């Protein structure tokens, strides 16, 4: 019933009494590049919610390499829908936020802000019940979660072939059975040398994923590059085209045999629903901090399961480990072995670490992500507001 107050297991009525957000900007240790972008820093919106019963929930979203404050401003935009809300009424709060932003942001910054808020609400629910996220979602499926080592970026002042060889070899030596590298920035002949170096480094039995980050302008260009790259037997080639080019993805499916993966930028059940309906991809890569939060992630996962499509969540292993541990068609976590690429760990207490190509299940109640307040202050663009 609309307006009904749900209670915690302890019987205490909860309402959200405080909504805070801030923007964090963390410089990379050294600038990096991929097919379509040069990156010197990463920015995040952090959300903190407090309830009438004294619970605190945190959520976050990666917002790119500049203008992170735009996502944080959308948290302010949604504040009236969250203050006074029952934290358990996830669907109601989500729908109210989405409807209010329908003119300003059915995608993009608005939905990233919604994602951070939704994750914070799930954090509250887990803490209220004393359960880690994987238990809330219906897991776990096992004791540990498989992950792949994600890297293979373009670095200045390095030999691209030698560097990718050494990097990929190091991942295999650390026990990873699957690795990922970037493609699409260099001329095709140069990309082929890098790809061959990576395959030589990891051997014939290690899974090799490739990520083009929307590198190619059309299906014909993508098909030419992808056909050449099949020489090294990629497990998938990710984001070959711009995310809104549905016709291009459908055409590309008819032109190549290598599996196509995408979804890291896609948002909401409707965005993923179109990819599924048109059979535009073979593998979906949703990100709970991007697509609309955990509430929307579950819908996307169910839709994908009905279409027999696997999920390989993008980015944010700190959160996605718990999701992969629980959702049947979520297969593997993307993991960054160092802070050189994904640097959220610079503001976290005790980030989880992989061993032997697997990650341990987070066991603390809620989303099992704790921010270091002093580190947040050091990298903050603004104060909590």
317 is catalytic: no
Q: Which residues contact 265 (CB under 8 A, 6 or more apart)?
A: 239, 243, 290
Which residue(s) pair with 144 in the sheet? 360
Q: Which residues contact 361 (CB under 8 A, 6 or more apart)?
A: 132, 134, 140, 143, 144, 145, 321, 322, 325
Reference 92, options 15, 16, 3; nearest CA is 3
Question: Torsion-angle region of residue 263: left (phi > 0), alpha (psi -120 to 50) or beta?
Answer: left
Number of residues in the chain: 385
* Other beta carbons less than 10 A from residue 233's beta carbon: 12
For the packed helices 109-129 and 69-82, what is the interaxial angle rounded to 10 degrees? 50
Nearest 5°: the CA angle 153, 156, 162 is: 65
17 sits in which H/E element: strand 16-34
Q: Report the greatest alpha carbon distance in the chain.
A: 65
Q: Which of 81, 249, 314, 317 is catalytic?
A: 314
Whole-angstrom Cα distance, residue 298 to residue 303? 9
Q: Which of 182, 249, 317, 320 is catalytic?
A: 182
| SS3 call for 72 | helix
81 is catalytic: no
Whole-angstrom Cα distance, residue 195 to residue 179? 12
Q: What is the CA radius of gyration of the chain?
A: 21
Active site residues: 182, 314
């Amino acid at each position: 019933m609309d307006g009904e107050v749900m209670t915690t297991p302890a019987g205490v009525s909860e309402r959200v009494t405080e909504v805070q957000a801030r923007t964090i900007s963390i410089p990379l240790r050294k600038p990096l590049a991929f097919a379509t972008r040069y990156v010197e820093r990463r920015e995040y919106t952090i959300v903190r919610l407090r309830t009438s019963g004294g619970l605190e929930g945190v959520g976050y979203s990666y917002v790119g390499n500049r203008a992170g404050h735009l996502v944080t401003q959308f948290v302010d935009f949604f504040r009236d829908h969250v203050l006074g809300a029952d934290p358990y009424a996830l669907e109601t709060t989500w729908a109210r936020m989405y409807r209010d932003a329908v003119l300003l942001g059915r995608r993009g910054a608005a939905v990233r802000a919604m994602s951070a808020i939704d994750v914070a609400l799930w954090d509250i629910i887990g803490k209220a019940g004393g359960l880690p996220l994987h238990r809330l979602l219906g897991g776990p499926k096992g004791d540990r979660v498989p992950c792949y080592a994600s890297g293979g970026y373009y670095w200045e002042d390095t030999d691209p072939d030698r560097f990718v060889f050494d990097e990929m070899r190091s991942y295999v030596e650390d026990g990873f059975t699957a690795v990922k590298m970037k493609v699409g920035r260099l001329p095709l002949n140069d990309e082929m040398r890098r790809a061959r170096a990576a395959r030589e480094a990891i051997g014939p039995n290690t899974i090799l994923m490739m990520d083009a980050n929307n590198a190619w302008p059309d299906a014909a260009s993508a098909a030419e590059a992808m056909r050449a790259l099949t020489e090294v037997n990629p497990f998938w080639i990710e984001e070959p085209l711009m995310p809104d080019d549905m016709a291009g993805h459908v055409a590309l499916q008819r032109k190549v045999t290598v599996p196509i993966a995408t979804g890291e930028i896609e948002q909401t059940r409707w965005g993923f629903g179109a990819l599924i309906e048109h059979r535009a991809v073979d593998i979906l890569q949703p990100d709970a901090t991007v697509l609309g939060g955990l509430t929307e992630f579950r819908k996307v996962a169910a839709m994908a399961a009905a279409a027999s499509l696997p999920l390989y969540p993008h980015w944010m292993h700190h959160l996605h480990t718990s999701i992969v541990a629980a959702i049947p068609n979520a297969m593997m976590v993307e993991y960054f072995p160092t802070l050189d690429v994904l640097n959220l760990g610079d503001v976290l207490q005790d980030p989880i670490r992989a061993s032997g190509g697997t990650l341990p299940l987070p066991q603390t109640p809620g989303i099992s992500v704790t921010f270091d307040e002093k580190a947040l202050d050091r990298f903050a663009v603004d104060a909590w507001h």
